[in-house]
Structure 1
């Protein structure tokens, strides 16, 4: 069973390195698919796999939340910039 790169993805999120976070999750996905193929069907025990899926869902939710927060911050900066430009035009 592959190990979910929680620490690495969280570090990428903290650094706002979305490409790295995506690449880490993509590699994890490929490793997971390979492991599932090796395990065969039906799975000998699905409990650990379901727990891993829950952890993965939580990590992806963290990533989405961080991306959304960054998008909102960028939008606020854009609005602030437009406001500052308007004030500069008025003062000129």
Structure 2
């Protein structure tokens, strides 16, 4: 499966979260092109910002594939969109 489709789905969840129409979730089943994924959205705090992580996990027989996007909410109400690579730099996933 083309990973861009997976990241598009993650982007799809970021906007409703910002609009407060969806909240945090744990282990929600999601289907993308007839493949099953697990969605997790969680919040982490730091002294200067909040970090919201959107993660889709695909479990296969011997391994898991994780795909993440994030939001960094700064105290001045600024929002920074984070890529999977930027999340790796801070240890996620």
Give the alignment's TM-score, normalised by structure 2: 0.30
Higher alpha-carbon Rg: 1
Give the alignment's TM-score, normalised by structure 1: 0.30
Higher relative contact order, structure no. (Cα contacts within 8 Å, ≥ 6 residues apart):
1
Greater per-residue strand proportion: 2
Greater per-residue helix proportion: 1
